[in-house]
A and B are shown apart, each in its own frame.
Chain A
């Protein structure tokens, strides 16, 4: 009697301790992250979240903001809704957003604990609570997560991971109920589908669930002697392989679409594909043994592999992952094999969208936020296996693990301090990545804002190495932008050195051009230098056979001409651009504006008519219609 009573009390004590441990993990993480809440807006924050002020927007605009985001094919409305919602409740600003991100990170930590615990328990691992605690601590405190949590726009990743974790938890619950044949399986099944959809509309990475969930369910340990469990595992294995084949086929069929994406990249699909095993291996290394000096948003100096032996780590990392999967497949019937494969399913398939062949940038830390659950699970399995072999080491091992986790948290805390100041982020990036164009551009801009053009140009030259006698337009534009920002004239740069009409293909250069344009309006730029640049560009453009790739450049230069009140030139550029993109609404509007300015309203009736036709066919956005209305009213 006494014995039967003591079991639930011991269990409830263990549950209480687990919850308390999870609470401690979260509280300490919040404490470490806290300084970073006051950090600045970063890279994509500006593009995605500019103008998210729900109170000022009004209902229609807020709804358009939720459903009008273009950063992914599905528009990520759920994530956008949280941005609008938080600004409505707590007001706009990065600090609010980062605090909300932290809250999501805390929720995800709880879900990771729950998921790892369920998996370990169902695999009949030793000390599942202790092992889940260690795995969760490692996952939550790893400095690798910082660039997701303290990067406002990565709410998309956090929210997507939240729903993905929920999906996995529900799927595991469904599997357990299904095996027992109990009724709640319908609820869990429905919940799995709903959360998967929510994840997909938070960020498209959730598409990987289509493989992760079947993989997880196929590897989930069946109850000993349960025929239903074995049948389910086999069925899901087949579903997994079938879906894998479908995905691969789609990829093969759409290969030209994949390759086409690389037109805007300066590397090939092969280089990216060869590099990704190295990148993923590096992610794993950064998760377990972080080198924080090179962590951050700027990773554009990552040297891509151009052959299987170049560098040799390409082959080694490939062999590592192949070995991991091969070992798992070889022992697939045993618990070890299933555990190896389950970690691979979460970690490697979690990377399947962003770290395979799609034409995305090669390296970003936030891509690990969800996949690293696979690494944490692996750590949980290892801890559990150790405790099975030697139960006596439980307490000292946990103390050592807390020390290890504590060292990770200390690193995270230091990184959070760096992330609290935009200047420190830039300095940290340029130290960690001295060859990175993006880091050097940011440093140059920072120095220009401090009115030190000479120093700024030193960094700008590192960002845009200048081939002798053939400077690039990008480099020149950036230098001029620095001159405008610093309020100091550009002395030793001569626009006549430019030999080719082309450039502004990278975002930094386009942003630099925008700085010049606003500098011209504010009279912060040296007007004669800008005029020299514009004259040289026009001379080069007239000599260059124009093609559709030059359209963005032509339209940007047109805006610059407009800023200089040289409407003839602006009109010339828009006409050239329209000859290659005749239905581009923005170009048409620009052309109309310059045409009216140069030639008067009557002459521009063709453009007006064309725009009106496009408006009737619903192509124009609200703002574009409003702009057009200005000319119509005038007419």
Chain B
């Protein structure tokens, strides 16, 4: 009775206050910009743009329109169509507001999960509720999560996290029942069906949900310890531990048994397996700091500068030692919350922060792991607070931490109110990040924010442009392979200062870069930008430079369809452009008959040429190769 009254008088108002403060803190960023992956995935997404409520198949079209991940993330993609404005365009405010809603919903689940776990760990009901409230508040207010919640496309990570945490909560809910009585088969099946649903939901939101299985093992090992119906089932406990060990050994086993499977994905990267693994250990320690400490300085969003950790053996050994102490300490003190927090954090990172050929670091990768870490950290503090009889001190400390977190969250949300601010902040605090340097320079080139039309405004615009060019020039000079910077320089010089001869230097550097650099995703995007710019006439290259570029494109073997598309765009400039374009795509259709994009392009070409018969045959191949039906709606439209 007392606890219930306390719930209504203290915890509930505090919870509501935390929610309100988090919402208010996020407010400045909620009208923020679209970023990096948002345009290709969302804004340029035909299916989302053309979605019509009356057309049932448009739901499938939107779901199948995802390009990310092996499964296309259909649930995430489908979640975006409901946030369009009256004109059918995605509204950033609505998208980010929905992300914030999801964030708070996940926060509630984190709190509920924490409360259940704390009660299993023997916390009194009141203490468990207080600790859970603190966990949920800390997790919701973590400034680290701004780059997930306010980055529209990271809805995928949020939904995946929602699926995983819901699955864990269901497991804990059922498992608590079975601590005291034996499970019945129907309840076991019921639990599996519910967890399966969460897994399905999460997996089709983002593939990271695969960690749900190992995380269930972590929860079983660290929370329940194989106890069923009041007694410890040693076989279950051992099996769970061995399965966890086996899971953590999978990368090593893969490396020994099937090394090519692991290493082949690195063929298209400018780093190798060893580089990535050597960075991940210190990086994971950094992630841990970013999560627990509300310090804005390292939270720069663009974390490619973390590659600087690669060659630093001191940092590596320091991080290794720190991890050893943390894990060792947790084991020595037999502190279950700490063991749980660290295990959860590491296992939840096991997909994106281990051996796979993904980019080095992203803040959003901590969205799920941080939930377990906060549960573990708060549990540990309460554990020691109880042991050393300092519970109030712990509560005051955590309360202060939440207050600081909310303040930092608000400050970070201010930064996230404009793209230029984000990139400027990243550039200021991570000078080693080439991406930050480039994006900030690119942002300076966009003077649409300067509203003053007078002399001061003109001066400011010129100053911004000069500064942008200086930064891009430095970037190109220092990092000779920075393809995007070179493309932007060519464009800038072609349009703003066409008489300057420096353009030839950028041209030759660009051609050199094409020869030596293993092109990455952003390089291909820059290349595409260059070709678009050349065909539109806003970029000018010398005849020699252009023919060298065309020759380089001819020599490229990676991503033949993409490169073929660029060649075709350039070919269209010629007198016999249409014919050459058709030839290029006919070759591509032979080379990659299963690629629907090639056939789609051929349909356009043949239709332009008035060859309806050939267009129909291309449509036949498109219908055959388009397994997910992404092109079905455009085909119907084309036939109308």
Point out residues on A near B: beta carbons under 8 Å.
Answer: 28, 31-32, 34-35, 389-393, 396-397, 399-400, 403, 409-410, 413-414, 416-418, 420-421, 423-424, 427-428, 430-431, 443, 446-447, 450-452, 455-456
Q: State which of B53-61, B242-250, B425-433 sits at the interface with chain A.
A: B53-61
Counting CB contacts under 8 A, is B460 at the interface?
no
Bound Cα distance from A400 to B611, whole angstroms: 47
Contact yes or no, A390 B620, CB < 8 A: no
How far apart are A25's CB and chain B's nearest CB, in angstroms?
14
* Cβ contact within 8 Å between B620 and A427: yes
Q: Which chain A residue has the least Cβ–Cβ distance from B627?
A: A293
Identify the 5 closest CB pairs spanning chains A and B, nearest first. Answer: A452-B613, A390-B186, A396-B193, A450-B612, A450-B613
Count chain B CB atoms within 10 A of each CB in A389, A400, A427 and give the residue with the most: A427
Report the bound CA distance from A424 to B200 in whole Å.
32
Measured between beta carbons, the chain B residues less than 8 angstroms from A430 are 620
B298 contacts chain A at the CB level, 8 A cutoff: no
Binary flags per residue of B187-223, CB closer than 8 Å to A gives 1, else 0: 1011001101100100000000000000000000000
Which of A409, A414, A424, A452 is B611 in contact with, Cβ under 8 Å? A452
- Bound Cα distance A403, B60 (Å): 14
Report 12 cross-chain contacts, Cβ distance below 8 Å, ordered by A residue: A35-B636, A390-B186, A390-B190, A392-B189, A393-B186, A393-B189, A393-B193, A403-B197, A421-B635, A423-B619, A451-B613, A456-B613
Inter-chain contact B194/A410, CB cutoff 8 Å: no
**B35 lies within 8 A of chain A by Cβ:** no
A417 to B629, CA, bound (A): 10
Write the nearest CB–CB distance from A574 to chain B, whole angstroms. Answer: 39
Contact A420 B186 (CB under 8 A): no
Contact indicator B616/A423 (Cβ below 8 Å): yes
Residue B16 interfacial (CB < 8 Å):
no
> Hey, which chain A residues are within 8 Å of B185, CB to CB?
390
> Bound state CA distance, A53 and B55, in angstroms?
30
Within 8 A of A (CB), among B431-462: none
Tell whether, in the assembled complex, residue A400 and residue B193 are in contact, meaning their CB atoms are under 8 Å apart. yes
Contact A391 B186 (CB under 8 A): yes
With CB as the reference atom, state the residue of chain B lying closest to A427.
B620
With A393-B189, A418-B632 given, name 4 new contacts (CB 8 A).
A35-B56, A390-B190, A423-B616, A431-B623
Residues in chain B near residue A32, CB distance under 8 A: 56-57
Count chain A CB atoms within 10 A of each CB in B57, B187, B612, B633 and give the residue with the most: B57
Nearest neighbor of A454 in chain B, beta-carbon distance: B613
Nearest Cβ distance between residue B167 and chain A, in whole angstroms? 12
CB-CB < 8 A to B611: which residues of A? 452
Is chain B's binding surface mostly helix, strand, loop or mixed? helix
Q: Which residues of B contact A397 (CB under 8 A)?
A: 193
Q: Is B293 an interface residue (CB 8 A)?
A: no
Which residues on B sit within 8 Å (CB–CB) of A399?
A: 193, 197
A452 touches B612 (CB 8 A): yes
B589-640, CB < 8 A from A: 611-617, 619-620, 623-624, 629, 632-633, 635-636, 639
In the complex, what distance in Å separates the CA atom of A392 from the CA atom of B186? Answer: 6
Candidates B54, B186, B614, B639; contact of A424 at CB < 8 Å: B639
Contact B620 A396 (CB under 8 A): no
With the chains together, A160 CA to B611 CA distance in Å? 45
Query: Is A400 in contact with B623, judged by CB distance below 8 angstroms?
Result: no
Contact B613 A421 (CB under 8 A): no
Q: Measured between alpha carbons, how far is A35 from B614 in the docked complex, in Å?
A: 26
Q: Is there an interface contact between B624 and A431, defined as CB atoms closer than 8 Å? A: yes
Point out the residues of chain A lying under 8 angstroms from B639, CB to CB: 421, 423-424
If A392-B190, A396-B193, A400-B197 touch, whether A427 touches B54 (CB-CB below 8 Å) is no
B564-612 contacts to A (CB < 8 Å): 611-612
- B615 neighbours in A (Cβ, 8 Å): 450
Residues of chain B within 8 A of A427, CB atoms compared: 616, 619-620, 623
CA distance A34 to B59 in the complex (A): 14
B632 and A417: CB pair below 8 A?
Answer: yes
| CB nearest to A292 among chain B residues | B629
Task: Kindly identify which residue among A31, A424, A447, A450 contacts B635, using a CB–CB cutoff of 8 Å.
Answer: A424
Given A403-B200, A424-B636: A34 and B186 interface contact (C-beta under 8 Å): no
Using A393-B193, A452-B614, A455-B617 as known contacts, say yes or no to A34 and B54 having CB atoms under 8 A apart: yes
* Contact pick for A451, options B187, B612, B629, B632, CB 8 Å: B612
Known contacts A31-B56, A416-B57; A447 and B613 CB within 8 A of each other: yes
Chain A residues whose CB sits within 8 angstroms of the CB of B624 once the complex forms: 431
- Count contacts between A and B, CB distance < 8 Å: 97
Query: Chain A residues near B623 (CB, 8 Å)?
Result: 424, 427-428, 431
Flag if A389 contacts B186 (CB, 8 Å): yes
Option from B189, B197, B620, B632 in Cβ contact (under 8 Å) with A443: B620
State how many angstroms separate the Cβ of B500 from the closest Cβ of chain A.
53
Minimal beta-carbon separation of A351 from chain B (angstroms) = 30
Closest to B633 in A: A417
A427 to B621, CA, bound (A): 9
For residue B56, which residues in chain A have a CB less than 8 angstroms away from its CB?
28, 31-32, 34-35, 409, 413, 416
Cβ contact of B620, chosen from A34, A391, A431, cutoff 8 A: A431
Closest to A434 in B: B624
Residue on B nearest A399 in the bound complex, by CB: B197
CB neighbours of A450 from chain B (8 A)? 612-613, 615-616
Contact (Cβ within 8 A) B617 A447? yes
Q: Are B636 and A417 in contact (CB under 8 A)?
A: yes
Most buried by B among A396, A416, A450, A451: A396
Which one, B54, B57, B194, B613, contacts A413 given CB within 8 A? Answer: B57
Q: How far is B639's CA from A403's CA once the two chains are assembled, in angstroms?
A: 32
Contact B190 A396 (CB under 8 A): yes
B197 touches A396 (CB 8 A): yes
Identify the closest chain B residue to A391 (Cβ).
B186
CA distance A410 to B185 in the complex (A): 33
* B200→A35 contact, CB < 8 A: no
Given the known A-B contacts A389-B186, A413-B57, A414-B57, are A420 and B616 also in contact in the complex, defined by CB atoms under 8 Å? no
A127 to nearest B CB, angstroms? 13
Instruction: Out of A392, A393, A403, A410, name the residue touching B59 (CB < 8 Å).
Output: A410
Q: Chain B residues near A424 (CB, 8 Å)?
A: 623, 635-636, 639
Across-interface contacts of A414 in B (CB, < 8 A): 57, 60, 629, 632
Q: For the complex, what is the distance from the CA of A414 to the CA of B193, rounded to whole Å?
A: 28
Interface mask (B51-85 → A, CB under 8 Å = 1, otherwise 0): 00011110110000000000000000000000000
Question: Which residues of B have CB within 8 Å of A423?
Answer: 616, 619, 639
What is the bound-complex CA distance between A443 and B55, given in angstroms?
A: 28
Report the minimum CB–CB distance from A83 to chain B (whole Å): 27
Which A residues touch B60, using CB under 8 A? 410, 413-414
Given contacts A34-B54, A389-B186, is CB(A455)–CB(B632) below 8 Å?
Answer: no
Chain B residues positioned under 8 Å from A391 (CB to CB):
186
For A420, the chain B residues whose CB sits under 8 A away are 636
The answer to whether A392 and B616 touch across the interface, beta carbons within 8 angstroms, is: no
**A399 and B170 alpha carbons, distance in the complex (Å):** 16
Residues of the B chain whose Cβ atoms lie less than 8 Å from the Cβ of A390:
185-186, 189-190
How distant is A442 from chain B, measured CB to nearest CB, in Å?
A: 12
Query: Which residue on A lies nearest to B60, using beta carbons?
Result: A410
Min CB distance, A551 to chain B, in Å? 37
- Chain B minimum-CB-distance residue to A30: B56
In the complex, which of the residues A389, A421, A455 contacts B614, with contact meaning CB atoms closer than 8 Å? Answer: A455
List residues of chain A with CB within 8 A of the CB of B194.
Answer: 396
Among A35, A396, A418, A451, point to the contact of B55 (Cβ < 8 A).
Answer: A35
Considering only CB atoms, which chain B residue lies closest to A455 in the complex? Answer: B613
**Which residue among B189, B615, B616, B639 has the maximum number of chain A CB atoms within 10 Å of its CB?**
B616
A41: min CB distance to chain B, Å:
16
Complex-state Cα separation, A455 to B624, whole angstroms = 18
- State whether A446 touches B616 (Cβ < 8 A): yes
Tell me whether B57 and A393 are in contact (CB under 8 A). Answer: no
Q: How far is the CB of B594 from chain A (nearest CB, A)?
A: 13
By beta carbon, the residue of chain B nearest A416 is: B57
The chain B residue with its CB closest to the CB of A393 is B190
Whether B186 pairs with A447 at a CB distance below 8 angstroms is no
- CB neighbours (8 Å) of A400 from chain B are 193, 196-197
Q: Tell me, in angstroms, the Cα distance from A452 to B196 when the chains sit together.
A: 53
